[in-house]
């Protein structure tokens, strides 16, 4: 059966100047979770693209068939699309999107910087399921968002197979992979995150080789910070960081 894309979960592309931002949503999420970021970055002049990763934004039976290799491939295709329009590219990843961003930076030398938002290396709530073969589907808790009234498009159930794909993906982030990251890196971590503990970000920052790296704490957001109370702080700090790194770079419209 072919499931349609949920209204609002579509990929989006907004043409701006020659600085491109590739936005990646997280596990079970959709481009909707980074839509506000993308639109505000576009207002600041950036070219923005947020691809919908394989199996996301339709039905949980679709994501059950997807692999972590396909998720990385989808993000890499997004990078190549942006590269046709932009001379400078930063990858912005929320949760699993941050995991993918690190791996993509190891594959593509043309990436100029990373912006990670609660990047995932370890998800405690899934650990007990690591070697399980049942049940096939697990009830998923509501999105971890502090701000009242925010609705994230996601699935009510998560396939066990998909959890195992996420775990295999996170296992790929070795110390060597992190040491290979030498480009500018800005990381955001929610101090109260019920999905991905802030220690994930601390570990990343301790092991990357980036000379220009900075970590910013978010005190008023839970895990899905791209939709939470600190959303504008993320936009403001990201814009300032990129502009700081762009000093002396010619930007075309």
In a domain, 236, yes or no: yes
Reported as a single tens digit per residue, the pLDDT across 175-226 is 999 999 999 999 999 999 999 999 999 999 999 999 999 999 999 999 999 9
Q: Which of 62, 144, 193, 230 is catalytic?
A: 193
Q: Is 219 a catalytic residue?
A: no
- Tokens 């910087």, residue? 113
Taking the C-alpha atoms of residue 29 and residue 142, their distance in angstroms, rounded to an integer, is 12
Q: Is 193 a catalytic residue?
A: yes
In a domain, 71, yes or no: yes
Reported as a single tens digit per residue, the pLDDT across 163-178 is 999 999 999 999 999 9
Q: What are phi and psi of 236, to 5 degrees?
A: -65, -45
Q: Closest Cα to residue 23, out of 145, 116, 123, 88? A: 116
Report the chain's C-alpha Rg in angstroms.
Answer: 17
Reported as a single tens digit per residue, the pLDDT across 18-52 is 999 999 999 999 999 999 999 999 999 999 999 99
In a domain, 155, yes or no: yes
In a domain, 252, yes or no: no
In a domain, 2, yes or no: no
In a domain, 75, yes or no: yes
Confidence of residue 253 (pLDDT cuts 50, 70, 90): low
Question: What's the number of domains the chain is made of?
Answer: 1
Q: Which of 221, 223, 226, 230 is catalytic?
A: 223
In a domain, 251, yes or no: no
Above 80 in pLDDT, residue 140? yes
Q: Which residues contact 164 (CB under 8 A, 6 or more apart)?
A: 129, 130
Query: Is the pTM for the entire model greater than 0.95?
Result: yes
Domain residue limits at 78: 12-246
Percentage of the residues of the chain whose pLDDT score is greater than 70: 100
Q: Is 33 a catalytic residue?
A: no
What CATH number has the domain bearing residue 94?
3.40.50.1820
Taking the C-alpha atoms of residue 219 and residue 6, their distance in angstroms, rounded to an integer, is 31
In a domain, 149, yes or no: yes
Q: Which of 33, 95, 187, 190 is catalytic?
A: 95
Q: Closest Cα to residue 231, out of 92, 89, 112? A: 92
């Amino acid at each position: 059966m072919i499931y349609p894309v949920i209204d609002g979960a579509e990929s989006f592309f907004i043409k701006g100047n020659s600085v491109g931002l590739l936005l990646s949503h997280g596990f079970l999420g959709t481009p909707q979770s980074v839509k506000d970021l993308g639109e505000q970055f576009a207002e600041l002049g950036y070219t923005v693209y947020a691809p919908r990763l394989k199996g996301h934004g339709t039905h949980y039976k679709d994501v059950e068939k997807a692999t972590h290799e396909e998720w990385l491939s989808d993000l890499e295709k997004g990078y190549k699309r942006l590269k046709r329009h932009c001379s400078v590219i930063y990858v912005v990843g929320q949760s699993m999107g941050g995991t993918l961003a690190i791996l993509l930076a190891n594959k593509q030398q043309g990436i100029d910087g990373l912006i990670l938002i609660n990047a995932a290396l370890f998800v405690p709530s899934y650990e007990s399921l690591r070697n399980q073969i049942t049940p096939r589907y697990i009830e998923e808790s509501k999105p971890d968002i502090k701000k009242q009234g925010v609705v994230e498009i996601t699935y009510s159930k998560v396939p066990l197979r998909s959890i195992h794909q996420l775990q295999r993906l996170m296992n790929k982030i070795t110390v060597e992979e992190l040491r290979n990251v030498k480009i500018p890196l800005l990381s955001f971590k929610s101090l109260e995150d019920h999905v991905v503990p802030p220690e994930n970000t601390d570990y990343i920052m301790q092991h990357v080789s980036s000379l220009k790296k900075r970590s910013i704490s978010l005190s008023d957001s839970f895990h899905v910070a791209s939709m939470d109370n600190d959303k504008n702080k993320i936009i403001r700090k990201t814009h300032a960081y990129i502009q700081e790194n762009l000093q002396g770079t010619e930007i075309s419209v």
